[in-house]
Amino acid sequence: MEAKSKKIMSNQDGVHANLEKTVQRHLASRFRKPISDHTGAAFQAVAAELARIDRPLILDSCCGVGDSSRALAQAFPDHWVMGVDKSNVRLSKERDGVEPENLLLVRADLNDFFRLAAEAGWRPARHYILYPNPWPKAEHLKRRWHGAPVFPYIVGLGGRLELRSNWWLYLREFAVALEVAGHRAELCPYGADEPITPFEAKYKNSGQPLWQLTADLG
């Protein structure tokens, strides 16, 4: 049986007061933190592999155990699906059956990986960020992807972006951040008839409403 999951508790009751100026500051400056050796090496390895493949890319960021990446690889056999997560424990969870041939799972810190990919000119056709860590405390705005210095690089990757969350305000803030960056997003309830990630299944089984943001970043 799946564990029950608690609803998000936050000391915010609306979009963070500092969101717009935080995003503007990040859009106006380069993110200069040095790239970690590990993510640099992981990126070089997958970039070499991608160079040999003549198929559009789907990025599944924060893929956890990679179940969503496997589902996407099956749903898009004419694409190459790359799941990225920083947790080796999650990525190395064994799964039954034969892995799809168009799937690649990478352990990397996305704060570095997004920058390397955007600067190398990667333009995934689709980009999924499913159930990112919400960081619900107001003081943790900069840990949310839209409040982080790497946000402009996520936008720069382009493609059809899709985020899902059990916290509506996270996605509302992401939509506001995209608007500051010049893009429109759609935000709507998500039914998750067939959950494709463990978090999606957990939230759904707990009866929590789920939400989906989509945006065409070109």
Binding site for ligand SAM (CB under 6 A): 62-64, 68, 85-87, 90, 109-111, 130-133, 197-200
CB 54, min distance to ligand SAM, A: 27
Choice between 158 and 198, CB closer to ligand SAM: 198
- Give SS3 for 63: coil
Exposed / middle / buried, residue 52 (Cβ in 10 Å: 0-12, 13-18, 19+): exposed
CB 42, min distance to ligand SAM, A: 11
Choice between 20 and 109, CB closer to ligand SAM: 109
Query: Tell me, what DSSP letter sits at residue 36?
Result: P
120: tokens are 């190398």
163 residue type, one letter: L
Choice between 21 and 137, CB closer to ligand SAM: 137
Choice between 55 and 202, CB closer to ligand SAM: 202
Choice between 132 and 152, CB closer to ligand SAM: 132
Q: Which of 84, 144, 76, 139 shows the shortest CA–CA distance to 114? A: 84
Question: Phi and psi at residue 197, in whole multiples of 5°?
Answer: -135, 155
Query: Tell me, what DSSP letter sits at residue 17?
Result: T
Nearest residue relative to ligand SAM (C-beta): 64
Which ranges constitute the DSSP H helices of the chain? 19-27, 37-51, 67-75, 88-91, 110-119, 151-157, 168-180, 198-205
Rg of the Cα atoms in the chain: 17
CB 83, min distance to ligand SAM, A: 9
Choice between 8 and 27, CB closer to ligand SAM: 8
